[in-house]
Amino acid sequence: MIRRGCGLLTGASLLMLTACGGGGGGVNSVSSAASTGSTTTTTPAAPVINYNDAEYQRSNGTVDSGAITAWNAGYTGTGQTLAIIDSGIKDVDGEFTGRILSSSTSFNGTNSISDEGGHGTTVAGVAAAARNGSQMEGVAFNANLMILRTDTSGSCGGTDGCSYSSTAITNAINYATTNGAKVINMSLGGSAMPSSTIAAVNRATAAGIIVVISAGNDGSANPDVFADVASLSSAHGLVIIAGSHDANGTISSFSDRAGTYAQYYLTALGNSVRTIDNTGAAVLASGTSYSAPEIAAAALLLEQAFPNLTPTQVVALLYSSATDAGATGVDSIYGNGLLNIAKAFAPVGSTSLAGSTVTLSSSDTMTLSSAMGDAKVTGSSVGQAVVLDALGRAYTMSVAPGVAHVAVDQPLRESLAGNIRSTDFTTGRFSVSSMVSQDASGQPWQSLALGRRGFDAGIAARPVSSTMVAAIGETLTLAAGYASSGHTLEQRIDPDAPATSFLAARAPDETPGFTGRQAFSLAGRQSVGHWAIGFTAERGTINQASHLDPVDPAYAMMGVRAERRFGGLTLIGTASTLQEDGTVLGARLSPAMGRSGAVTRYLGAEARLWIGKGWSLAAHWRQGWTHTQSGGVLLASDIKSRSASFDLAHVGAESRFGLRVALPPRVTAGGLDLWLPTSYDYTTGAIGFSNARIGLAPQGQERDVEANFGTRIPGAGWLDANVFLRMQPGNIAAAGNDVGSAVRYSVSF
């Protein structure tokens, strides 16, 4: 039987190779400086080698296939052997120097692999032309080539191109099978394979060799019958039929369609593919002959990158990762679709950390709290771990591929929303206070807030909060609250608590660095002479939006305090513990980090000085030490945080004034320590581990300044005004200043 090359080429010498089964369209020669520019490929931000250069852009078949993804991952075909059964090769300009294996041979009686017609050289160029800054580069430009010349000597001079005997092809397939080929490319076509050739294909595929055959260029509804072997059991599912699409991803007019062989059919660029002919000239070639080597080279890249994959898995991956075209799914025109190496290199299914069942995906995100602000936890500072996909392929992935910074809080809105309307009831030593944020109509009630965005009419409804205070004897006071913080209760039972009311600038014991929603709280105070001791306890949830978990994590806080008066000076020491279930200082971690929570211990000191005539000074400092629990890749880790404030206040019978400068909670040192799989051996399955750290100290430092002035309106209540400035709010250095003001009117009934 006679086979013919499945491509059409016009080069400098105007020689023509007959397309198998018919014509394939015109082809024009191009200069070495020309660029196709038909496809745009995005490369990583900082690849080790810039593959996206002028030579790459000229290599339109390579660009269209998405090969640069494999290259950027370090896979260029090195050490892989592609057998090309064709008309030989002629390396005029050294495009294949050092990579044409000595095992290359001819089966046409000439003892020479020199290419007379040019077809074999152009096919080899598409697959593996060198990356050398000249002409173009192949899909697997470092692959080794086993050139098996099978054209009938002297047959390439006619207008019908080269002819190939079935015997030569059969012998070449058998030779490739026994001499180490990983993939066989046959850009050939013609009548049906004889049984001897089918038997050779059977031996090759049984040995795990992938065979790629051109579909043909008749524009027929089915591939050329030479490719029918793909559907036979002797092909073992490892024969791919290569169709052609154009630069727009549309099936080429000349390409034979998938037809009834759709499940074995895959297309690649076959219109005007830039390559190199046997004279060293750059040419544009069309035909399914040039789709086949792109697919064959793609298989080589996958086998190099993922040695754990079986040939069957490689073929299945090429099919499943193809870009769908035509009718949805596998169809009779495009078969499985368009070759897409980039997608073939992407993980399949869920990815888990090597050596574990802990899942990690590119969508996993840490959501930081305001105490961590704009901490730079992306890029090289983030631990890189080895993960395995559903096919057991190893990838390197960041354990925090994306970091969400919590939205800067709005303390003005939060303060007004919680303190607008109150009802108090007192009898003897027992009092009850309740607060609601809105009236029945749902509109803000008795408040007016002016900030950077104008008048704030968006105060959200909050549940009713209430507190109960009971004086037991002369020195002991107890309090309980619903939807109230322990700090609120503490202020209610402290007879020396400042009467000023700040809305934005918060003292250290008012917030741990995240927004919480209290469920219930308790407080107590016992006075003994110049001494006083007290306690607070609260439990609630961390009210901080995150896609990582639809349920707000719980927290609990307990604290004790001791006071000592020295005349007009009061010194206060505090100690408290924050227990978080699934968060770290309010930050939500990716599932790979276990979400196991943390414990923070605080020590604080406060000094209050009464300087006469209703004036007082106060300074407050608190230091936190957070210890995370281990889980997933997270080791037990330590984090330090700090907050402080300074107050100047005046309280009189008819007026009050307060000025506060505050440094809200901010991480000052430490981070998350990780134990990561960082290497993986496909052969032995051995996994190497190493330590990494994610630092959580932000670049920004929030600084708040707020003034409060209140005046009593005789017989009517109090009118208070607040104005504040928050610099680098949320501990985010790039954040603009937050400036706002509020006017409040309160009346007692």
User: What count of other Cβ atoms lies within 10 Å of the Cβ of residue 66?
Assistant: 22
212 in helix, strand or coil? strand
Distances (CA, A) of 227 to 20, 215, 292: 12, 6, 12
Catalytic annotation present for 547: no
Catalytic residue among 106, 289, 437, 637: 289
576 in helix, strand or coil? strand
Q: Is 16 exposed, middle or buried (0-12, 13-18, 19+ CB in 10 A)?
A: middle
Which neighbouring-strand residues pair with 558? 537, 577
| First-to-final CA distance of the chain | 107
Residue identified by tokens 């020309």 is 34
Helix (H) or strand (E) holding 661: strand 655-680
Q: Are strands 587-588 and 583-584 parallel, antiparallel or unpaired?
A: antiparallel
Whether residue 452 contacts residue 743, with contact meaning beta carbons closer than 8 Å, is answered with no
Catalytic annotation present for 277: no
Which neighbouring-strand residues pair with 241? 213, 265
Distances (CA, A) of 62 to 35, 71, 130, 372: 13, 11, 12, 45
Q: What is the DSSP string of 414-445?
A: HHHHHSSEEEEEEETTEEEEEEESB-TTSSB-
Q: Looking at 122-230, which runs of residues are DSSP E strands?
A: 144-149, 163-165, 183-186, 188-190, 210-214
Question: What six digits make up the tokens of 157?
Answer: 């001079």
Question: What six digits make up the tokens of 24?
Answer: 């394939």
Residue identified by tokens 């032309």 is 129
Catalytic annotation present for 650: no
CA neighbor of 267 nearest in space, from 184, 366, 361, 339 = 339
Query: What count of residues does the chain have?
Result: 749
Whether residue 351 contacts residue 336, with contact meaning beta carbons closer than 8 Å, is answered with no
d(CA 460, CA 621): 32
Whether residue 523 contacts residue 554, with contact meaning beta carbons closer than 8 Å, is answered with no
Question: What six digits make up the tokens of 703?
Answer: 């600084």
CA neighbor of 141 nearest in space, from 85, 59, 208 = 59
Catalytic residue among 64, 86, 218, 647: 86
Helix (H) or strand (E) holding 239: strand 239-245
619 in helix, strand or coil? strand
Question: What six digits make up the tokens of 150?
Answer: 């099978």
Strand order in the sheet with 188-190: 163-165, 2-5, 188-190
Catalytic residue among 91, 115, 119, 277: 119
Whether residue 656 contacts residue 499, with contact meaning beta carbons closer than 8 Å, is answered with yes
| Contacts for 287 with CB less than 8 Å, ≥ 6 apart | 5, 6, 7, 8, 9, 19, 20, 24, 187, 214, 217, 244, 254, 270
CA angle 515, 519, 523 (to 5 degrees): 95
Catalytic residues: 86, 119, 289
